[in-house]
Amino acid sequence: MWARLIFAILSVSFITGCTSPLKKSVLHPLKAREIDRVVGKDKSFLTTYSIVEEKWNHISTHQDSARWKDITYGRLHTYLQTINSNELNSPLFSKLRQKWEELNTRNNIAADEYIAKWKMHMASNSPDSLAQVSFSGVELEIVRNRKKEIDTLVKARIRINALKGKIDSLSFSYSFVADSISGADSSELAPAVNTYSHRRAVNDSAVIKVFPGVHPLLRQLLVAGDTAVKFNYSLKSVYFQGKLHNADSLKKEVPAPVLALIEGESGAASPDFDANHYREQIIRGEIDPGFISQSAYVKINAEQYYRQLDSLVFSYINYRGAL
């Protein structure tokens, strides 16, 4: 009702303030001085007149002419001002967006459940869910080096725990790090990343002994059992029940829009990441094939509302000639 009131007010204020040019049918071109006369009061009329000029290319029959003869320049211009006004569209779009949200509550719940299922799948099949690696101390081995000098080798004991049953094999990287040590510069504390592949099965747990590559200062601290030295590791791959589990293999199992959403939530997405875009792909592909986006819903229903304001002018604007 309020939209029709806006339309009526604009119609009266615009047409009564003008004379014959705006009362002419859009089937008849205006003279240059008539156009100037109207534009002098409202420059936006140039847009209206360009639409009329474009329609002349499509109106070629007597039937077409009879259909549009009652549309005046003033009626068309007022209609265009109305459907493009914030006074109409701001509350209209807000209402339609809210309606879309209400209609899609069930879809959104289903999408959340679907995404949660894949998050659980990724968590329960990641390498970290299958194995755990920890540091169990050091062993010293006295040897003679190439120069026949006595040297001390440091072996690190690393424990591998199978969390869900027998592991066929695994690979991981590890390092020993210390954030800060009094009197040491950053180069002396730089961690050296080591890699290790364990190609034998682990039923429950196993302890391996490795020679870690570390800076001499860190090696000394490691031997001394200094608590400032921390053990870090990252599982690269785990073979479990004859299947490879790593980051790449896991990503291949997850539907692309779900993976994009999960990575977006973790901050790994680009700055222009649009979560709604991927949610809509999930809903349309897995939940509701007839789903339409919020923007499409607003556009379709807004156009239906515009039609109700003046169905004849609406048809004229959208006319593209006889089929």
Q: Where are the domains of the chain?
A: 2-99+297-317, 104-123+253-291, 127-243
> Does 302 score more than 70 pLDDT?
yes
Span 19-30, average pLDDT: 88
Span 300-308, average pLDDT: 95
pLDDT tens sequence across 203-222: 999 999 888 877 777 777 77
Q: Say which CATH topology domain 127-243 has.
A: Immunoglobulin-like (2.60.40)
Rounded to whole angstroms, the Cα distance separating 136 from 126 reads 24
- C-alpha dihedral over 50, 56, 57, 63, to 10 degrees? 150
pLDDT tens sequence across 34-81: 999 999 999 999 999 999 999 888 776 666 778 889 999 999 999 999
Span 224-246, average pLDDT: 87
pLDDT more than 70, % of the chain? 87
**Is 161 in a helix, a strand, or coil?**
strand
pLDDT in the model for residue 213: 77
Closest CA to 76 of 67, 85, 68, 66: 68
pLDDT more than 90, % of the chain? 58
Residue by residue, DSSP assigns 231-291 as EEEEEEEEEETTEEESHHHHHHHS-HHHHHHHHHHTT-S-TT--HHHHHHHHIIIII-TT-
Of the CA atoms within 13 Å of residue 83, those in its CB half-sphere come to: 21
> Does 2 score more than 70 pLDDT?
no
Specify the DSSP class assigned to residue 215.
Answer: -
Span 158-169, average pLDDT: 95
Please state, rounded to an integer, the average pLDDT across all residues of the chain: 85
Choice between 272 and 298, residue whose per-residue pLDDT is larger:
298
**Which whole-number Å values give the CA distances from 239 to 195, 198, 230, in the listed order?**
17, 10, 27
pLDDT in the model for residue 19: 59
> Does 172 score more than 60 pLDDT?
yes
Specify the DSSP class assigned to residue 27.
Answer: T
pLDDT in the model for residue 153: 76
State the pTM of this model.
0.63
Rounded to whole angstroms, the Cα distance separating 206 from 162 reads 9
Rounded to whole angstroms, the Cα distance separating 275 from 284 reads 14
Q: Which residue has the tokens 């490879």?
A: 244
